[in-house]
Amino acid sequence: MGEQERLAKDHALRARAARVIPGGGMYGHQSVASLPAGFPQYFERADGCRIWDADGNEYIDYMSAYGPNLLGYGNAAVEQAAAAQRARGDCMTGPGPVMVELAETFVELVDHADWMLLAKNGTDATTICVTIARAATGKRTVLKARGAYHGAAPWCTPAREGVLSEDRAHLHSFHYNDVESLEQTVDAHADDLAAILVTPFKHDVFRDQELVDPAFARRVRELCDRTGAALILDDVRAGLRMAYGCSWEPLGVRPDLSAWSKAIANGYALSAVAGGEALREAGARIFTTGSFWFSAVAMAAAVACIGEARRSHVVERTQALGERLRAGLRSQASAHGVGLRQTGPAQMPMILFDDDPDQSRVNRWTAETVRRGAYLHPYHNMFINGGHTEADIDRTLQITEEAFAAAAARR
Amino acid sequence: MGEQERLAKDHALRARAARVIPGGGMYGHQSVASLPAGFPQYFERADGCRIWDADGNEYIDYMSAYGPNLLGYGNAAVEQAAAAQRARGDCMTGPGPVMVELAETFVELVDHADWMLLAKNGTDATTICVTIARAATGKRTVLKARGAYHGAAPWCTPAREGVLSEDRAHLHSFHYNDVESLEQTVDAHADDLAAILVTPFKHDVFRDQELVDPAFARRVRELCDRTGAALILDDVRAGLRMAYGCSWEPLGVRPDLSAWSKAIANGYALSAVAGGEALREAGARIFTTGSFWFSAVAMAAAVACIGEARRSHVVERTQALGERLRAGLRSQASAHGVGLRQTGPAQMPMILFDDDPDQSRVNRWTAETVRRGAYLHPYHNMFINGGHTEADIDRTLQITEEAFAAAAARR
């Protein structure tokens, strides 16, 4: 089947969207504008680890909705809890009792947490962390790693259009995993340091991921202790995928605040800020809210998601599946003489090609896998979810083998 | 029944929440910390115009979840559309075709709209409007009415804790409905004016509401035309309650951008920015996104909500019910010799007392109505919804009559 025919409905939808949605029909991280031809824009259905595009083409999905799908699309435990709450009430004139249950669950789950706040976007959570840190310290400067994504409000969006220099005032950068760069940046701002904001590992788009150097993480903690700045862990993308708790718990490094979203309610819109006792009072002093922040269904989904994540050992299972995929790809790439770089945690794989300055090789290869039913991404880290099985990984490896051969033939 | 017994479960939940949620157990606009004793914090169930607190006490609800409930809690048409979409998929690796359907619906609904963007919070929508206006004009200054609420991000939150002066740089205020003040503020910033941000009427907390003076609205439009600034209508709170379209359509004043949220999906988390052709390109240039912004269920709910709002004539019906409530209260207050000020659109009532500098009279009266099963608010505008009936209004008026008598007896 030709590409035009395979995605005929998708292209018809895009033509309609181009009239009523800016950016030629889509915006934000789910726009396929920067993806190779052959990636569908619209999806009709999702179940477990599978998605179906508007034309009915089926894919084994490695994006997991860019993170929210932790346990598999439509996970029964989560959907049952959500449905039971929905039958009672969702967005009401006050929160449901489930808000207390979720906060207690979270405080029990997360080592450093003595309290939590709930919001909707990951950006809400990182913004609230920064605001609390500034309220608590009376200082202004926030340090972050160069190139790290912490959301899409004016103070943090990667773009500069419509953003003022004031929006980013007192925001300075260090190099991730570079202790010397961190120390220099801290020294340059030590008298005005409100927070160091850091992701649990380096997961920037278009680049190899880097696990955190434990010495770097410990140094971040020491510098915060020395200066009185808050250590903010941005666990929006990785939270619940690396550990049952903060992603730095296995290292023994405790943040003062952590930001959560994406996977915590298995796709229901929710984000969270968790904090320690020392910042409880500042957490109460700031004012932030949203029309849907007290909605009960997403909270019931989160309680169920956290319980099911632990019960089903999703961290260990997705890690093992990621390692199975990684090992298979390594051997295929080697057989095809292709230099493949697979980085980051196995359950959040990033796959890039050597000698690929314009991404044409990874674009060609992922376009071939997508055409064959494995949705792999050429520049964003991926996410194994609890709906994946060994059989799905093995089927994916058949597809990637064909894609290596096809991409080689097309060169 | 004593208050302690009536809200025993509620108070037990508050004690648990005080340990795990900052602010003594709740934050944001749904915290009851500033409400009189007797207002429950937690709600167990909602249906139509009714809510039940954690202790099972039933209320005719006049807050409608602080706005999101437009058609009645659990409206069948909305829930059926949401369930049908949910069975297929919600938060996926791309949007569903329903996103195009919603954008087309919105562009057809809203006079000034040629395109729309979707997000989650009302604050997202107002922030995106400001960002687009700055991107389009290359200018920085945004004017808003003093005291007007436009969200709870650092640039607009009513609090100052953790907020830097830079966050509010280039934001200046005029007095709502005061043409002279508007003109002076525009003149002072005419060379750097990106936008005038304005609500469709004055709906500040703790104050009498004011309908917009049509001459003021037209002057806002003229000044934007003269300076090249964007007219941003913040219809987050009032949208779909005053008109089927922007709230200024009945006046014939078209904004360049409008911000929507709350009622557009009858309680599902969604917000929107609508814009005209001239700002389409700037709308595409900015970068903003969120993990749940492409979720399909809330979009299906919005399509159904907009359709059902028109089919059921919700604007006219809630306005008539609001007028019935207003007339009944007017005559009760007069009989009791109480000076009552009822302001704003009848379907979004604000009720305040004369000679009440510390709000003790309105607090006492609403505490009496809440105890008797009518949830009236002492300092925030209320919202009639499509679940209310004439019988509910009449039952409420029995309660308010008793409350006037009880409050008088307690003085």
Residue among B19, B167, B291, B381 with most chain A CBs within 10 A, to mutate? B291
As a whole number, the mean pLDDT across chain A is 97
Start-end of CATH 3.40.640.10 domains in chain B:
76-311
Put simply, the answer to whether B164 touches A140 (Cβ < 8 Å) is: yes
d(CA B57, CA B10): 11
pLDDT tens digit string along A288-313?
999 999 999 999 999 999 999 999 99
Put simply, the answer to whether B100 touches A287 (Cβ < 8 Å) is: no
Question: Considering only CB atoms, which chain B residues are within 8 Å of A27?
Answer: 117, 283-284, 287-289
pLDDT tens digit string along A266-281?
999 999 999 999 999 9
Nearest CB to A21 within list B116, B155, B288: B116
pLDDT of residue B408: 81
Q: Please give the C-alpha separations between residue B185 and each of A127, B144, B192, in angstroms, as whole numbers.
A: 30, 10, 12
pLDDT grade for B409, boundaries at 50, 70 and 90: confident
Put simply, the answer to whether B65 touches A91 (Cβ < 8 Å) is: yes
Start-end of CATH 3.90.1150.10 domains in chain B:
3-71+313-410
Task: List the beta bridge partners of residue A271.
Answer: A119
> HSE (CB half, 13 Å, CA atoms) of B280?
18
Residue among B7, B50, B62, B93 with most chain A CBs within 10 A, to mutate? B93
Supply the DSSP string of A93-129, one letter for each residue. SS--THHHHHHHHHHHHSTT-SEEEEESSHHHHHHHH
Two tokens at B101?
A: 């359907």
Task: List the beta bridge partners of residue B173.
Answer: B144
Residue type, position A397, single letter: L
Put simply, the answer to whether B29 touches A289 (Cβ < 8 Å) is: yes
**CB neighbours of A52 closer than 8 A, spacing ≥ 6?**
A43, A44, A45, A46, A58, A59
pLDDT of residue A1: 59
CATH of B76-311, one of 3.20.20.140, 3.40.640.10, 3.40.50.1100, 3.20.20.70: 3.40.640.10
Check pLDDT > 90 for residue A9: yes
Residue among B14, B292, B380 with most chain A CBs within 10 A, to mutate? B292
Nearest CB to A131 within list B64, B162, B282: B162
Supply the DSSP string of B177-246, one letter for each residue. T-HHHHHHHHHHTGGGEEEEEE-SSB--TTS--BPPPHHHHHHHHHHHHHHT-EEEEE-TTTTTTSSSS-
Architecture per CATH, domain B3-71+313-410, reads as: Alpha-Beta Complex (3.90)
CA A58, A54, B267, B122 dihedral sign is: positive
> Min CA distance, A223 vs chain B (Å)?
21
Nearest CB to B287 within list A96, A158, A164: A158
Instruction: Please compute Rg for chain B using Cα positions.
Output: 22
Residue type, position B184, single letter: Q
**CB neighbours of A235 closer than 8 A, spacing ≥ 6?**
A199, A200, A246, A247, A258, A259, A260
Predicted TM-score (pTM) of this structure: 0.98
Q: Please give the C-alpha separations between residue B123 and each of A198, A385, B39, B129, in angstroms, as whole numbers.
A: 25, 31, 27, 10
Nearest CB to B94 within list A43, A103, A114: A43
- Around Cβ A60, how many Cβ atoms within 10 Å? 23
Put simply, the answer to whether B93 touches A20 (Cβ < 8 Å) is: no
Residue type, position B73, single letter: Y
pLDDT tens digit string along A125-142?
999 999 999 999 999 999
> Min CA distance, A161 vs chain B (Å)?
5
Count how many pairs of residues, chain A against chain B, have C-beta atoms within 8 Å.
350
Flag whether the ipTM exceeds 0.85.
Answer: yes
Question: Considering only CB atoms, which chain A residues are within 8 Å of B121?
Answer: 120-121, 124, 290-292
